[in-house]
Chains A and B, each alone.
Chain A
Amino acid sequence: MTATQQKAGEAKAGTKVMTMLEAITDAMRTEMRNDDRVVVFGEDVGKKGGVFGATAGLFEEFGEKRCFDTPLSECGIIGTAIGMAVYGIRPIAEIQFLDFIYPAFDQIVSEAAKMRYRSGGEYTCPMVIRSPYGGGIRGGHYHSQSAEAYFCHTPGLKVVIPSTPADAKGLLIASIRDEDPVMFLEPKRIYRHGKGEVPLGEHVVPLGKARIAREGTDVTVLCYGAMVSVCEAAAETAAQAGRSVEIVDLRTLVPLDEATVLESVKKTGRCVVVYEAPKTCGYGAELSALVAEKCIEHLEGPIVRVAGFDTPFPYTLEHLYMPDEKRVLAGIEKTFVW
């Protein structure tokens, strides 16, 4: 059992044991109560409460004015969200699956991301785009992709990916309060897995601060989202073989907590980067470059990437595509024996 998994009823005072999904709903509810500028919209987020249930109860509590269904147009969802943000309210736009965000790509990269810069800071675009992403749910090509790198490659956007229920809540609240557009990407595979204690009411986890998910001395594993628990399992197995693994859960890819990453790698002298997106030009490539550039003199082995394949996302062979404990362990070994 990992630190993030707890049984119901064990919650400390002022906390509640929740799934990540429940924590995400709780974050929106909390901020909608706190700040009447916050509105939530997207396809099926109203009465249905979202296809995964992330907005369950918001329509009932806040009414259609603040939680509403949209026509089937991602471009329309993001375009109108930008207009709202520019005008001064705080939209949270849900894109049903990250795989369907491309009709809105232009609005995100050309408009939202550049708003502040192009207007000399006069107009800004504080909004959150929430979207489930990643594999592991038998969703095939179009319900499984990890597209974070496109957004990380777009200056002006922040990119946040939680891996625990408590972080999901705290990071989402921080994202809603942020002054810039935030891509809040939710690892749907762990939406309902690994319940954890989540503080009730106000709970903010600042953007740009990584989390040491496990302390270790021999090798650093950098990861985020659903890969964190995969890496935790691998670390447990590696420990039995005498390898002490440190896991850094990045939490926010942009802005990146460089200090924590570099400090850990300098300490252990080895680095494995784990991500489920296609390997080439994935976010892990950036991490590898960073580590090579800034602390190569501390490295005792190659920086190893464990990633998805450079192919579209499969359906039946998903289990071969996704990095798993076995592949992470092999990656860890490669930093010792190469």
Chain B
Amino acid sequence: MAKTKTVKKAPAKAMAKAAPRTAPKPAAAKAAPAKAVVAKAATSTPTSMAGTSGQGLVRLLEDDGTVQKGKDPNLPEATLLFLYEQMVQVREFDRRMLMLQRQGRIGFYGPILGQEAATVGSVAALESRDWIFPALREGAAAMMRGLSLTEAINQLIGNGADRCKGRQMPCHYTFKEGHYYGMSSVIGTQLSHAVGAAMAARIRGDDVVVLGYLGDGATSANDFHCGMNFAGVYQSPCVLFCQNNQWAISVPISKQSASETLAQKGKAYGMPFVRVDGNDVLAVYTVTQQAAARARRGDGPTFIEAVTYRRLGHSSSDDPTRYRDEAEVKAWEKKDPVDRFRAYLQKRGLWSEAKEVAFKEQIAQRVNDAIAAAEKNGPPADETLVTDVYAHVPQQLKDQLADVLALEGRGVNQGAFPL
């Protein structure tokens, strides 16, 4: 039962109890001071949003990894290395999962190649007690919050050890201890949930902000508009983070919205907005941290548009050559977020070829071990077909299951997901 007393400061509630299992970052997050130039952009006023696509884009790193003059946020070394390692890990994980899908070992996969910085940089900027409401491509966030690779692969397989008990398609992770929300496939619906959760945190007096993700396509969905409107009206302590990867399956951003930028949609809902280079992990980290700080101070929500690119197909079932020009993909390869950040680290003497080789080997091994461990698990028990529909399994459902299990022979799961 919920207690009726209002808790002003709630240091350790159930939700704050489970700390992430990895991530040496919380201290680092506090250590990085906000840079004035970014803060200004982040609190965009009508004048600063007037730019066209190129303008108003917050960017700290050049494509070659050189940091723009006077703009290095000087993050602590541990944070920098954490960011890099997470980006490399998710890239390798992604590559391997796509391979498993091709080999028929998992049914479907939605890759994030090219978007590593946007996810990793934004999640890392939060405190571990903050909540995350992911969209399609933020699985890395769950892993950064401590979901083990094996557990992630259990979900992709849909086996008996999967937290959602093999009930969801691949890439629908859930991880409550890490405050990572289990989403549906319905585009955009999680946004109002994020806004409401943040309102609840404030009602309870918790020092928790919420990060809600969405894609560019989702900005067309009803739920985007109600989520944004409620966030603005109630000054919900949240950050709404749009991964503008230029495509919603085959629909390019130019056909998704006639708005000059997605970021400026924040203006209509009365909230600060910022457009950031999503392939620049330092910039993403910095603007998200500022937005989270604003929410934490009680100054309301921020809308962030991270400009990035989906380099592969929409999913394992999509062939993007049908609808887009390979030259566009090639151009974005040059802006690779991982290469760019590695170059920065190398220039700062924090990384080397030797470290790279050793680290990649280590990651590959980690993923291999996780695959092997996950593939040992069998399918979910038949009973899981009828549990969790309600808190208690109704007799009628027990009967339905018993009737089917009483029949001889067992069907097999066939078919391949076509999207």
Q: A317, B384: Cβ atoms under 8 Å?
A: yes
B-side contacts of A70, CB under 8 Å? 251
Contact of B166 among A76, A102, A314, A330 (CB under 8 A): A314
Q: A140, B386: Cβ atoms under 8 Å?
A: no
Is A138 close to B, CB under 8 A? yes
A-side contacts of B412, CB under 8 Å? 319
13 residue pairs A–B, Cβ–Cβ below 8 Å: A48-B322, A71-B251, A72-B188, A72-B256, A73-B222, A137-B418, A141-B169, A309-B401, A310-B396, A310-B400, A316-B413, A317-B380, A320-B401
For residue B393, which residue of chain A has the nearest CB? Answer: A311
Docked CA distance A270–B415 (Å): 33
A-side contacts of B404, CB under 8 Å? 320, 327
Q: A143, B185: Cβ atoms under 8 Å?
A: yes
B-side contacts of A330, CB under 8 Å? 403, 407
B412 smallest CB distance to A (angstroms) = 6
Contact of A72 among B108, B220, B403, B410 (CB under 8 A): B220
**Chain A interface, >50% SS class:** loop
Docked CA distance A224–B222 (Å): 33
A-side contacts of B249, CB under 8 Å? 43-44, 48, 51
For residue B415, which residue of chain A has the nearest CB? Answer: A137
For residue A330, which residue of chain B has the nearest CB? Answer: B407
- Which residues of B does A touch, CB under 8 Å? 107-108, 158-159, 166-169, 172, 184-188, 217-218, 220-223, 248-251, 255-257, 318, 322-323, 379-380, 382, 384-386, 389, 396-397, 400-401, 403-404, 407-419
Q: What count of chain A residues pass the 8 Å CB interface test?
A: 50
Q: A47, B411: Cβ atoms under 8 Å?
A: no
A250 smallest CB distance to B (angstroms) = 23
B-side contacts of A83, CB under 8 Å? none
A193 smallest CB distance to B (angstroms) = 10
Q: B396, A142: Cβ atoms under 8 Å?
A: no
Docked CA distance A43–B248 (Å): 9
For residue A313, which residue of chain B has the nearest CB? Answer: B167
Contact of B385 among A44, A188, A317 (CB under 8 A): A317
Is A301 close to B, CB under 8 A? no
Q: A320, B385: Cβ atoms under 8 Å?
A: yes
Docked CA distance A151–B223 (Å): 23
Q: A47, B322: Cβ atoms under 8 Å?
A: yes
B-side contacts of A322, CB under 8 Å? 411
Given A48-B249, A319-B413, A320-B401, 19 more pairs with CB closer than 8 A:
A43-B249, A43-B251, A69-B251, A97-B419, A136-B414, A137-B415, A141-B169, A142-B186, A143-B169, A279-B400, A310-B389, A314-B385, A315-B167, A315-B168, A316-B167, A320-B382, A320-B385, A320-B404, A320-B411
